[in-house]
Structure 1
């Protein structure tokens, strides 16, 4: 019996109702259906009592979600997709992403198109697009303290009410550089349209083998965005005396103390997206972010009443 998974945002009633109806339909078609919420991929925030709270990367998959699963259907918005990618990427499970949220930049189709989408994937009429992910690890000396996968970006920044941060940062074998800023962002091509874009970074089309490093509010005209090959490992050493905050995909993280180091590299796992048609990235940019819309000129003259 083929296996299929359903991951849904249980904070949205429409996603809950759709998940139950979808389970009934797939079961009637002879599929073995496993259900879980996206909460398992939420990293959670650290606090002074629990500064390092995380689950190892390979242990985030819900029960029953393994490499024998043909695909998983994700019901939610972009946050649910980001959470699901951490849960499913280590198992190599493709994701059919259905938007029940707001922006839906990472989703394949909308809820009102769910029936034909299910018919297509059940019939095997789809392709798989792989998106690179980051593996972020925090070390004290040689001891691994914290790790996470991220599809969009990792951010290392100062706590509120503290001074500007200093980072010593090394990319691969290249000489370390010093950056003075409120923080640094390292984003994937997928994340180039998220926080990185808001911070002044470039949009990178999916499939390009690069990551992007951006200082946040740097105190130097020389500290600007840098695009580098995704096979390079980045090591960040906090130089500031104050503790910093690590945030991954905007929803979880840990404290980073001055004697810690952060290692960021391409993950061996990729997020695998089910595509029902040939991806058109520029169309998504236009529809979701307004990129490339025609310019409407101002009239050359104004008629007075």
Structure 2
């Protein structure tokens, strides 16, 4: 039986296509086909050639067909990527021998109920963002957890992030970094005005409810991973919970998350243990 690996390539970067072609030739020597056919259902792995944005888009496909996702970093940060351009030979050999570890990354489930609109059901690997569209005025939110109100305030928006997304937009907005294997998710208000506007870390069974209050002057936008968006009015209710369907990421080595964090963010560690 022919082995197949699916390639998802950033269409706006010529170097991504060039790199994919090199990997395609290398895998062919092992009798493995690298295909770009998104309708293929018998693939064993999804290889992503691009940055984190490309990987987030590819996660839709990988999650749907329930196969691991492995990123080849062609972008700048490439926090979610596992392979770099200088390690293609290792990548090819590991894929051919199926020598990679698979870890499951938690995803978010959102249910949106908006007045006079069909209900919306979606998910996110990194984060769900609920953003104002009127730059001159804040949006107005009510926040509750497990059926109990927690706070109301005006803000530019609210982020709800997974541990995977805690190093992305949420981190830039002042949220904490959460280790990927933690069973938790974050709520981070953006430029909020109120007495209780700090980020919240919620447990895996928590039900986070966000209401767009009636005093809201303009529609809001809901974004899932910065890919899929919905425009909603005042009176909208957004419920966020842990999804039962994770995304699987393939890892070529067992480098701890702390080392990845230091390397990707170039963190200063001089003096650690006096070394």
> Please, what TM-score do these two structures have when normalized by structure 2?
0.89
- Alpha-carbon separation, structure 2, partners of 1:142 and 1:283: 49
Aligned to 1:288: 264
Contact 1:86/1:150, CA 8 A, preserved across alignment: no
* Corresponding residue for residue 208 of structure 1: 182
1:68-147 aligned within 5 A: 68-140=42-114, 144-147=118-121
Q: Alignment partner for residue 165 of structure 2, among 172, 178, 191?
A: 191
> How many pairs were matched up?
269
- Aligned Cα root-mean-square deviation (Å): 2.2
How does 1:151-190 map onto structure 2 within 5 Å? Answer: 151-190=125-164
Instruction: Quote the Cα distance in structure 2 between the aligned partners of 1:218 and 1:196.
Output: 14
Equivalent runs, 1:34-53 vs 2, <5 Å: 34-35=35-36
In the TM superposition, residue 149 of structure 1 has moved relative to its aligned partner by 2.6
Query: Could you say which residue in structure 2 is the equivalent of 1:20?
Result: 21
**C-alpha displacement of 1:155:** 1.0
Deviation at 1:272, TM superposition (A): 1.0
Provide, for residues 234-253 of structure 1, a one-character-per-residue CA deviation record: whole Å limited to 9, x for no partner.
22210024211112223441
Counterpart residue number, 2:208: 234
- Report which stretch shifted further, 14-23 or 89-98: 14-23
1:248-267 equivalent positions in 2, closer than 5 A: 248-267=224-243
Aligned partners of 1:100, 1:94: CA distance in 2, in Å? 19
Range with bigger deviation, 105-114 or 157-166? 157-166
C-alpha contact (below 8 Å) 2:112/2:121 kept by paired residues? yes
What TM-score does the superposition give when structure 1 sets the normalisation length?
A: 0.81
Alpha carbons of structure 1 residues 172 and 119: separation in structure 2 relative to 1, 3 Å: same
Tell me how far 1:145 sits from its aligned partner.
4.0
SS in structure 2 of the partner of residue 70 of structure 1 = coil
1:24 deviation in Å?
3.5
Name 1:7's counterpart in structure 2.
Answer: 8
Over 3 Å counting, the alpha-carbon distance change for 1:237 and 1:117 in structure 2 is same
In 1, distance between residues paired with 2:24 and 2:116? 45
- The farther-off stretch of 285-294 and 137-146 is 137-146
Gaps spanning 5+ residues in structure 2: where? Answer: none
Q: Is the 8 A contact 2:27 2:96 kept in 1?
A: no
What residue in structure 2 maps to residue 300 of structure 1? Answer: none
Residues 76-85 or 251-260, more deviating: 251-260
2:24·2:33 contact (CA, 8 Å) conserved in 1?
no
